[in-house]
Amino acid sequence: MSHVAYIGIGANLGDRRAHIRHACDLLRQTDGILSLKLSSLHETEPVGGPPGQGAYLNAAARIETLLDARMLLQTLLDVEARLGRQRSEKWGPRVIDLDLLLFDDEVIDTPGLTVPHPRMHERRFVLEPLAEIAADAIHPAAGMTIQELLGRLSGGEGMKGGCTGGAVRKPE
């Protein structure tokens, strides 16, 4: 049985476009991932984290997969590691960040995995690219579409979007 998942993608170190493209290529080559559709790239200023980091490129992707949510999360973490992601500072600069945002219509809250992403509904830099490819997708905990969630955001936070910190991985 296949599943539909949505991921947030961000990068603010090095050749950001190349890192995002490479991450998507690695995901497409992964056994159990059947397709990947990518939104356009959105350049945003960092939100939170240490001062002085560079702007992010953010995107969202729709993935059709045979993997379950935990296996998909591990795949995302493996791709991050292959591209040189180091988790040394919360919301710090990163080569690549892959966050599992939604997985089918599931609500998951287990050690190490929370879906829907716990802060996606308050982050314009996540919702804008996601709305491009999944405006009518339902946030299962909020019971609202992505477009409705985006419409609820004020003009403040997120017009400049930002760091895709806060992955679904809980602190260890």
Exposure of 55 by Cβ count < 10 A (0-12 exposed, 13-18 middle, 19+ buried)? middle
As a whole number of angstroms, the distance between CA 91 and CA 50 comes to 7
119-167 pLDDT per residue, tens? 999 899 999 999 999 999 999 999 999 999 999 986 544 333 333 333 3
pTM of the model: 0.86
5-59 pLDDT per residue, tens? 999 999 999 999 999 999 999 999 999 999 999 999 999 888 777 777 888 999 9
As a whole number of angstroms, the distance between CA 119 and CA 126 comes to 9
- The pLDDT value recorded for residue 131 is 96
As a whole number of angstroms, the distance between CA 109 and CA 114 comes to 5
Which are the catalytic amino acids? 85, 94, 97, 99
163, two tokens:
């760091």
Tokens 């996601």 correspond to what residue? Answer: 130
CATH number of 3-152: 3.30.70.560
90, 167 contact by CB (below 8 A): no
